[in-house]
């Protein structure tokens, strides 16, 4: 009997793996197969198999993570473009669903909507919630499973945990006793990690090279991006324990050190090394840099190859959300690439459908984003959705909330390295401005994008450049708006503001803070994002980042426009 | 536990012994009897939520879970702000969000296009921002920026906000520092520049209106649209700006220049001919008849004895030979000009002209245009300009007139 089960399991998983490897397999069919796998095969020992096909699934959903894909101009090979185009969420058109889920005989959960109308009929109208891909990736099944298990009164039912959903498996929050998944790791390309995370890791490894001991947290990271450091802390894995990664990173640093001539191991990574004053004092000789790198010959090639292959092992949840949050940047990049290709050969590419409607993959992505945001940054009135049933999961979830918001900040808001007020003032004074006159009217001049060094921390002038403002892709702007809109709508803000006023009037408790923790975390990044977009965003281009920033700003400063109701 | 569901047509009480299946049956059968299946479904869904709650946790938050929503409503640009002092702590916790982006926005908003075509769109952007800063909110910001002892508690929130912004926090003078305290009146320059730009472009639009446009504008004014409505919008904006940037009550972004009002027929003559800056008060520098500032005028500006007003910049050249406008029929423009020329020459009103429209040849220099302006000014009180024949709107009026005439005469 057991061997029969095992055989069945092997066949199913092989089929799923084949489907995931094949680029032209229908997303709906594959998602259905996966839904079936989680409901039937997974409880029978599919954990290890899931870990095996997890990278394949991510590649299929979001496209493969290519090295420096977001930094490239348009240099994608035909093969790379093909592999990216076959990603489910990069599809322009809705995939075919041959039969509705309701008629498939599977017990599908009804759609969950904390704010919308619950229990809407699902079979007659083709709704995005009924899409198998959405059902596979969304949190709805998790919530429904929890709702059901919460209300189970029959002891025999309690003994047999319900089949977990993909999301439960991913976040290790299933009732199932998961053995492998909590320790499972999946490799993520180092070059595609958020920029500040890369900087912190490089800095830490470099620091370790000098002192031969220490961890991420005890490294002198005060001058580094605190967000990057804290994001690393949120990731429930110590990157420095990954010996292969650390070793390769050291190798790259030492080769770069050798090629560059200037020491990377002398603690000169701090942004102050790239402050305007430091940059002005440094000799400007890009030619020298090129000569040095060319002199390195094959070593330069080696270091590039090493950089491309450098990977960081992440827990599955972190890997999934890194890929998920990075995805709108990829959509933006692909739209750019296809627009350029289309203008070259007159064809219609991604996001350039003639009817100008939103591509289906993007719709699915936005739906999933809203779903995850509602789940992790739940408003007080929907916090009871069995999400935080026990204190342990509450702790884990709060760490995940933080990790998620920090990923959003890193990928979406911190595209540019914003200059500190002091650096901007120094720059202004060097340009003949009045350093002492730091009035409100100087706000425009202080929103500067100054010179920034490369992530490897080389203080060679050739590696540093003045940043050009690059507006975030339209998709990222939408994502930011969705997230901010949700956060501003949080009833906790109203409650906490009222509480502060009350305590002030009663003169009892002082020094209250009216913002929830997530909003507090987001505040500095959002502030920089808005002021930079307002300063640099094009004003004569319709729907440009300038206008998106105005919308976002007004959204944030007017929480009193939020209407709550029953 | 008893759960009373009273908002439906059928009011009933459910107790613990009443099973979920029974309840469903009861509701659907009630619905069928009433002949309203859809309503029954709705009741079913609503009640199923309540039943779920009755089995689960009974905390008030749990009971209200599925029913609550929070939506961010985007207010219209002309709607008043809903801010109340209850939000004071929120403003304190985000103080620099109310100051820095406003300063940048006011500086950049001057780049917006306030011409006739884009006026409403651009004004919407400005109004959306300005409306947020209601007198109450401005008062709150003032309190937060003020270093008064009474506001010490709330300013602790501001300190925490600045701490949270870290190295990106603007360097505001703190208690005891001998620098000028931050205030919204620091934005006076940016605000003034923006308002000046809006008023200037609006006046230019009105100044460039021809006869028909002025009539159209007056008709629109009856319905609360057109330039009259724009003026109201601008004046409201100025009133709000006065509160934000603390302008004096008599503040005007652009002092009214005394332009000669030529009534309805202004569109037919040349604007440049009438003004040359002399009529814009004693502040205008000395100019030539063509409108160019003389050497003496330059000196006057240099020494600060006179100032320039952008409204005094006149158009050069003969408007009779301007490029064909969108409402003109191009071929008729050419013919009408030739006919006008023949008549003018025949009656000795003008010297023969090449009859070339601007833009047909290589770009004219300012000197050439000035020369043409002078020639045009040399023409007496009257000359033939039959360019109105090329105006398609005139043809529409004539056609309607003809039809009305036919109808009246019964032809």
Confidence of residue A12 (pLDDT cuts 50, 70, 90): low
Higher-scoring residue by pLDDT: A234, B143: B143
For residues A460 and A486, is the Cβ–Cβ distance under 8 A? no
Residues of chain A in contact with residue B108, where contact means CB-CB under 8 angstroms, are 444, 534-535, 539, 546
Hey, are the CB atoms on A534 and B108 less than 8 Å from each other?
A: yes
Nearest to B388 by CA among B318, B311, B335: B335
Minimal CA separation from B65 to chain A, in Å: 5
- Which of A118, A530, A559 is opposite residue B90, by nearest beta carbon? A559
| B337 CB-near residues (< 8 Å, 6+ apart) | B320, B321, B355, B357, B386, B387
pLDDT for B2: 34
Q: Which structure tokens are listed for A317?
A: 């949840």
pLDDT for A301: 72
What does the alpha-carbon distance between residue A193 and residue A69 come to, in Å, rounded to a whole number?
11
For residues A221 and A200, is the Cβ–Cβ distance under 8 A? yes
pLDDT for B37: 42
User: Is A417 an 8 Å CB contact of chain B?
Assistant: no
pLDDT over 70 at A444, yes or no: yes
What does the alpha-carbon distance between residue B194 and residue B200 come to, in Å, rounded to a whole number?
10
pLDDT for A393: 54
Hey, are the CB atoms on B171 and A421 less than 8 Å from each other?
A: yes
Hey, are the CB atoms on B88 and A554 less than 8 Å from each other?
A: no
How do beta strands A562-565 and B69-72 pair? antiparallel
Q: Mutation test of the interface with chain B: which of A144, A272, A378, A381, choosing the one with the most B Cβ atoms within 10 A? A: A381
Q: Up-side HSE of residue A411: CA atoms within 13 Å toward CB?
A: 26
Confidence of residue A203 (pLDDT cuts 50, 70, 90): confident
pLDDT over 60 at B197, yes or no: yes
Residues of chain B in contact with residue A563, where contact means CB-CB under 8 angstroms, are 70-73
pLDDT for B254: 81
Distance of CA B62 to the CA centre of its chain: 46
Beta bridge partners of A466: A451
First-to-final CA distance of chain A: 53
Buried b / exposed e over A519-544, threshold 16 CB at 10 Å, is bebbbbbbbbbbbbbbbbbebeeeeb
Higher-scoring residue by pLDDT: B397, A564: B397
pLDDT for B348: 83
Q: Mean pLDDT check: name the lowest of A16-30, B271-285, B295-309.
A: B271-285
Q: Up-side HSE of residue B401: CA atoms within 13 Å toward CB?
A: 6
Residues of chain B in contact with residue A540, where contact means CB-CB under 8 angstroms, are 111, 113
If you average pLDDT over each of A390-404, B41-55, B271-285, which comes out highest? Answer: A390-404
In chain A, which residue's Cα lies nearest the Cα of B189?
Answer: A441
For residues A90 and A331, is the Cβ–Cβ distance under 8 A? yes
The pLDDT > 90 percentage for chain A reads: 20
Nearest to A30 by CA among A116, A136, A180, A108: A136
**Any idea what DSSP says for residue A40?**
I
Q: Mean pLDDT check: name the lowest of A236-245, B279-288, B334-343, B367-376.
A: B279-288
Task: Sort A193 into a burial class: Cβ within 10 Å, 0-12 / 13-18 / 19+.
Answer: buried
Higher-scoring residue by pLDDT: A266, B235: B235
Q: Which structure tokens are listed for A535?
A: 């300063």
pLDDT for A554: 96
Element (H, E) at B12: strand B12-14
- Which of B72, B92, B171 is opposite residue A561, by nearest beta carbon? B72
Mean pLDDT confidence for A222-229: 65
Residues of chain A in contact with residue B129, where contact means CB-CB under 8 angstroms, are 550, 554
Read out DSSP for B251-289?
Answer: --SSPPP-PPP-GGGGGGS-HHHH-TTTTS-TTSPPB-T
Q: Mutation test of the interface with chain A: which of B89, B108, B130, B180, choosing the one with the most A Cβ atoms within 10 A? A: B89
In chain A, which residue's Cα lies nearest the Cα of B181?
Answer: A439
Higher-scoring residue by pLDDT: A222, A380: A380
Average pLDDT over all residues of chain A:
75
Backbone angles phi, psi at A193, to 5 degrees: -70, 160
Confidence of residue A278 (pLDDT cuts 50, 70, 90): very low
Q: Which structure tokens are listed for A250?
A: 């050291």
- Which of B72, B88, B168 is opposite residue A527, by nearest beta carbon? B168
pLDDT in tens, A169-201: 888 876 667 777 888 888 899 889 988 888 888
pLDDT in tens, B326-385: 888 888 888 888 888 888 888 888 777 777 777 666 667 777 777 777 777 777 778 888
What does the alpha-carbon distance between residue A491 and residue B124 come to, in Å, rounded to a whole number?
29
What does the alpha-carbon distance between residue A281 and residue A260 come to, in Å, rounded to a whole number?
18
pLDDT over 80 at B39, yes or no: no
Confidence of residue B23 (pLDDT cuts 50, 70, 90): very low
B35: left (phi over 0), alpha (psi -120 to 50) or beta: left
Reported ipTM: the value is 0.81
Q: Mutation test of the interface with chain A: which of B49, B99, B100, choosing the one with the most A Cβ atoms within 10 A? A: B100
pLDDT in tens, A452-461: 777 776 554 4
Q: Which structure tokens are listed for A456?
A: 């490897």
Q: Mutation test of the interface with chain A: which of B46, B66, B158, choosing the one with the most A Cβ atoms within 10 A? A: B66
Hey, are the CB atoms on B97 and A546 less than 8 Å from each other?
A: no
Hey, are the CB atoms on A523 and B111 less than 8 Å from each other?
A: no
Confidence of residue B99 (pLDDT cuts 50, 70, 90): very high
pLDDT for A4: 59
| A176 CB-near residues (< 8 Å, 6+ apart) | A43, A161, A164
- Which of B73, B103, B168 is opposite residue A441, by nearest beta carbon? B103
pLDDT for A160: 54
pLDDT over 80 at A495, yes or no: yes
If you average pLDDT over each of A260-269, A386-395, B12-21, which comes out highest? Answer: A386-395
pLDDT over 70 at A295, yes or no: no
Distance of CA B72 to the CA centre of its chain: 23
Element (H, E) at A289: helix A286-296
In chain A, which residue's Cα lies nearest the Cα of B190?
Answer: A441
Coil, strand or helix: which one is A436? coil
What does the alpha-carbon distance between residue A324 and residue A322 come to, in Å, rounded to a whole number?
5
Beta bridge partners of A564: B70
Coil, strand or helix: which one is B71? strand
User: Which residue spans within B154-194 are E strands per DSSP?
Assistant: none
What does the alpha-carbon distance between residue B404 and residue B411 come to, in Å, rounded to a whole number?
10
Beta bridge partners of B12: B5
Average pLDDT over all residues of chain B:
75
pLDDT for B41: 41
| A236 CB-near residues (< 8 Å, 6+ apart) | A315, A318, A399
Coil, strand or helix: which one is A446? helix
pLDDT for B43: 34
For chain A, domain boundaries: 2-117+126-183+314-413, 185-271+287-313
Return the residue matching tokens 């004053």: A277
Return the residue matching tokens 């007003």: B309
Confidence of residue A225 (pLDDT cuts 50, 70, 90): low
Hey, are the CB atoms on A547 and B65 less than 8 Å from each other?
A: no
In chain B, which residue's Cα lies nearest the Cα of A500?
Answer: B89
pLDDT over 80 at B392, yes or no: yes
User: Is A243 an 8 Å CB contact of chain B?
Assistant: no
Task: Sort A183 into a burial class: Cβ within 10 Å, 0-12 / 13-18 / 19+.
Answer: exposed
User: Is A428 an 8 Å CB contact of chain B?
Assistant: no
pLDDT over 80 at A565, yes or no: no
Backbone angles phi, psi at A267, to 5 degrees: 65, 30
In chain B, which residue's Cα lies nearest the Cα of A379?
Answer: B70
Minimal CA separation from A176 to chain B, in Å: 22
Alpha helix stretches (DSSP H) within B75-134: 88-93, 95-109, 119-132
Confidence of residue B66 (pLDDT cuts 50, 70, 90): low
pTM of the predicted structure, to 2 decimals: 0.73
Q: Which structure tokens are listed for B242?
A: 């006065």
- The alpha carbon dihedral of A41, A317, A306, A62 has a sign of positive
Task: Sort A213 into a burial class: Cβ within 10 Å, 0-12 / 13-18 / 19+.
Answer: exposed
Residues of chain B in contact with residue A505, where contact means CB-CB under 8 angstroms, are none
pLDDT for A544: 93
Hey, are the CB atoms on A523 and B94 less than 8 Å from each other?
A: yes
What does the alpha-carbon distance between residue B167 and residue B165 come to, in Å, rounded to a whole number?
6
Q: Which structure tokens are listed for B212?
A: 């028909």
What does the alpha-carbon distance between residue B92 and residue B98 come to, in Å, rounded to a whole number?
9
Minimal CA separation from B200 to chain A, in Å: 19
The pLDDT > 70 percentage for chain B reads: 73
Beta bridge partners of A465: A452
If you average pLDDT over each of A2-16, A485-499, B264-278, which comes out highest? Answer: A485-499
| A474 CB-near residues (< 8 Å, 6+ apart) | A332, A335, A543
Hey, are the CB atoms on B68 and A485 less than 8 Å from each other?
A: no
For chain B, domain boundaries: 3-67, 85-173+181-241, 258-312, 319-401
pLDDT for B27: 39
Length of chain B: 411
User: Is A443 an 8 Å CB contact of chain B?
Assistant: yes
pLDDT for A220: 42
pLDDT in tens, A502-522: 666 655 455 578 899 999 999
pLDDT in tens, A389-434: 444 555 566 788 889 999 999 999 988 888 888 888 888 888 776 6
In chain A, which residue's Cα lies nearest the Cα of B109?
Answer: A539
In chain B, which residue's Cα lies nearest the Cα of A424?
Answer: B168
């Amino acid at each position: 009997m057991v061997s029969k089960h095992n055989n069945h399991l092997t066949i199913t998983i092989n089929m799923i793996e084949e489907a995931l490897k094949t680029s032209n397999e229908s997303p709906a069919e594959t998602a259905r197969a996966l839904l079936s796998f989680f409901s039937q095969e997974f409880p029978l020992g599919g954990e290890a198999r899931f870990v095996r096909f997890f990278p394949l699934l991510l590649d299929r959903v979001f496209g493969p993570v290519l090295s420096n894909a977001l930094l490239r101009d348009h240099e994608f090979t035909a093969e790379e473009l093909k592999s990216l185009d076959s990603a489910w969420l990069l599809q322009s058109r809705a995939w075919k669903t041959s039969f509705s889920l309701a008629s498939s005989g599977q017990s599908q959960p009804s759609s969950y909507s904390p704010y919308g109308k619950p229990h809407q009929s699902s079979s007659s109208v083709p709704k995005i919630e009924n899409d198998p891909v959405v059902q596979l990736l969304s949190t709805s099944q998790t919530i429904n499973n929890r709702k059901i298990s919460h209300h189970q009164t029959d002891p025999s039912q309690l003994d047999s945990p319900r089949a977990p959903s993909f999301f439960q498996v991913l976040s290790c929050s299933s009732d199932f006793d998961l053995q492998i998944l909590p320790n499972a790791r999946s490799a993520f390309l180092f070059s595609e990690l958020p920029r500040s995370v890369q900087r912190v890791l490089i800095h830490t490894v470099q620091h370790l090279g000098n002192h031969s001991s220490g961890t991420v947290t005890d490294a002198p990271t005060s001058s580094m991006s605190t967000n990057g450091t804290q994001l690393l802390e949120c990731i429930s894995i110590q990157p420095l324990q990954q010996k292969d990664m650390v070793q390769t990173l050291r190798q790259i640093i030492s080769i770069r050190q050798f090629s560059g001539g200037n020491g990377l191991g002398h603690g000169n990574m701090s942004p102050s090394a790239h402050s305007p004053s430091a940059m002005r004092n440094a000799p400007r000789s890009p030619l020298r840099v090129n000569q040095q790198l060319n002199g390195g010959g094959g070593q330069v090639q080696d270091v590039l190859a090493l950089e491309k292959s450098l990977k960081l092992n992440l827990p599955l949840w972190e890997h999934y959300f890194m890929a998920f949050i990075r995805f709108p940047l990829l959509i933006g990049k692909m739209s750019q690439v296809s627009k350029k290709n289309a203008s070259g050969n007159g064809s219609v590419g991604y996001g350039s459908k003639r009817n100008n409607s939103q591509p289906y993959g993007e719709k699915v992505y936005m739906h999933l984003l809203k779903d995850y945001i509602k789940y992790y940054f739940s408003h007080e009135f929907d916090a009871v959705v069995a999400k935080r049933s026990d204190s342990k999961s509450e702790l884990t979830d709060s760490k995940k909330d933080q990790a998620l918001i920090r990923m959003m900040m890193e990928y979406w808001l911190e595209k540019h390295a914003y200059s500190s007020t002091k650096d901007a003032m120094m720059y202004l004074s060097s340009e003949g401005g009045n350093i002492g006159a730091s009035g409100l009217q100087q706000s425009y001049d202080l929103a500067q994008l100054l010179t920034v060094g490369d992530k490897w921390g080389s203080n060679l002038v050739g590696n540093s450049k003045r940043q050009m403002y690059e507006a975030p892709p339209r998709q990222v702007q939408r994502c930011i708006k969705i997230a901010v809109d949700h956060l501003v709508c949080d009833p906790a803000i109203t409650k906490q503001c009222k509480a502060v006023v009350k305590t002030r009037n009663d003169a009892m408790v002082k020094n209250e803070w009216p913002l929830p923790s997530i909003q507090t975390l987001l505040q500095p990044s959002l502030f920089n994002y808005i002021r930079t977009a307002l300063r640099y965003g094009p004003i004569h281009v319709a729907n440009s980042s300038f206008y998106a920033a105005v919308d976002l700003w007004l959204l944030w400063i007017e929480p009193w426009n939020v209407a709550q109701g029953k | 536990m008893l759960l009373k569901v009273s908002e439906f047509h059928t009011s009933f009480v459910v107790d613990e012994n009443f099973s979920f299946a029974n309840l469903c049956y009861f509701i659907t059968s009630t619905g069928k009897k009433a002949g309203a299946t859809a309503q029954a479904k709705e009741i079913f869904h609503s009640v199923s939520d309540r039943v779920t709650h009755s089995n689960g946790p009974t905390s008030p938050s749990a009971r209200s879970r599925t029913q609550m929503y929070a939506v961010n409503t985007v207010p219209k640009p002309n709607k008043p702000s809903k801010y109340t002092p209850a939000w004071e702590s929120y403003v304190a916790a985000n103080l620099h969000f109310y100051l820095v982006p406003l300063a940048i926005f006011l500086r950049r908003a001057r780049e917006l296009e306030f011409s006739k075509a884009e006026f409403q769109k651009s004004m919407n952007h400005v109004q959306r921002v300005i409306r947020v800063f209601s007198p109450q909110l401005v008062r709150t910001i003032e309190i937060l920026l003020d270093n008064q002892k009474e506001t010490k508690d709330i300013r602790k929130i501001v300190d925490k906000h600045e701490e949270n912004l870290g190295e990106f926090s603007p360097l505001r003078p703190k208690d005891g520092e001998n620098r000028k305290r931050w205030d919204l009146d620091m934005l006076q320059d940016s605000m003034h520049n923006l308002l000046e730009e809006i008023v200037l472009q609006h006046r230019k639009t009105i100044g460039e209106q021809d006869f028909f446009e002025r009539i159209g504008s007056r008709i629109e004014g009856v319905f609360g649209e057109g330039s009259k409505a724009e003026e109201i919008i601008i004046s409201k904006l100025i009133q709000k700006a006065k509160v934000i940037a603390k302008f004096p009550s008599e503040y005007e972004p652009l002092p009214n220049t005394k332009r000669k009002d030529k009534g309805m027929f202004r569109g037919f003559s040349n604007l440049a001919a009438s003004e040359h800056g002399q009529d814009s008060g004693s502040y205008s520098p000395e100019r030539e008849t063509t409108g160019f500032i003389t050497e003496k005028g330059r000196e006057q500006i240099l020494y600060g004895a006179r100032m320039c007003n952008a409204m005094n910049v006149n158009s050069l050249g003969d408007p009779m030979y301007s490029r064909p406008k969108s409402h003109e029929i191009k071929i008729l423009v050419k013919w009408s000009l030739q006919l006008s020329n023949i008549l003018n020459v025949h009656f000795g009103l003008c010297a023969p002209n090449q009859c070339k429209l601007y833009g047909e040849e290589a770009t004219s220099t300012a000197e050439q245009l000035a020369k043409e302006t002078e020639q045009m000014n040399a023409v007496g009180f009257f000359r033939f300009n039959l360019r109105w024949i090329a105006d398609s709107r005139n043809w529409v009026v004539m056609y309607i007139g003809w039809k009305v005439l036919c109808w009246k005469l019964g032809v």
